[in-house]
Amino acid sequence: FELARLQKNFLLSVTHEFKSPLAAIKLYLETMQRHDLDAPKQQTFIKNALYDTDRLNQLVENALMANLIERQSNIFTFEDFDLSAKINDLAIKFSSVPGFPKIDSTITPGIIMHGDGNAITILVTNLIENASKYTASGESIRLTLNNNGQHAFIEVADHGIGIPDDEKEKVFQKFYRAGNEETRSTKGTGLGLYLSRYIARKHQGDIKILDNQPKGAIFQVRLNKAVQ
């Protein structure tokens, strides 16, 4: 019954999640059509529209991946890739989004791992998007990557509302979202952390949540660099 309720919430939130970036993209295009904007303004509108396009894409990718997991398909393709470059690219990508919080990144270069690069992108994107929802303007998100012999460690930390101890496990449940769907102000579908943990575990790792100081959440991801 709990799952049925969560699933109903999911449909509500997916509808909302689709409509808001689409409406935004339409508005950016209409404004550019009607007004003769100067070049910098035009670039800002284009960047915003591209970011909204990415968000729609992520939404579809998350939903697709959740569906494939449900059908127990073998969804991962493992190969060698440069994890440092991937995390760095993500940091750069988010930095170009107008209005997105600043990302303070400390990335150990040259970490090569054997895994599914697309899945790792989905994982880290979900964590950064989440952190951004709870980051007030002027504050930044901390992103770190390091490694030891066998494992890579990714950390995404914010200074938002944090996650109470009794929710630190629940947030990884499929469709789980803290608070009430009708009154909630932050966006989301409740798939992000479910998928993120699934992906980490498929790389013989895991995700845990710690409290940031003085407030906020730290998501710590551990991945085996050589999972076969």
Interface ranges with ligand ADP (CB under 6 A): 126, 130-131, 134, 158, 160-163, 171, 176-178, 188-194, 217
Instruction: Categorise residue 95: left if φ over 0, alpha if ψ from -120 to 50, beta otherwise.
Output: alpha
The answer to whether residues 185 and 132 touch, using CB atoms and an 8 Å cutoff, is: no
Residue number with CB closer to ligand ADP (54 or 82):
54
Residue number with CB closer to ligand ADP (58 or 84):
58
CA geometry: angle 12, 17, 18, nearest 5 deg: 105
Closest contact distance (angstroms) between CB of 44 and ligand ADP is 26
Residue number with CB closer to ligand ADP (59 or 113):
59
Residue number with CB closer to ligand ADP (121 or 126):
126
Closest contact distance (angstroms) between CB of 77 and ligand ADP is 24
Residue whose beta carbon is closest to ligand ADP? 188
Closest contact distance (angstroms) between CB of 67 and ligand ADP is 16
The DSSP H or E segment spanning 145 is strand 140-147
Closest contact distance (angstroms) between CB of 190 and ligand ADP is 4
Written in H, E and C, the secondary structure of 85-120 is HHHHHHHHHHHCCCCCCEEEEEECCCCEEEECHHHH
The Cα 162–Cα 195 span in angstroms is: 20
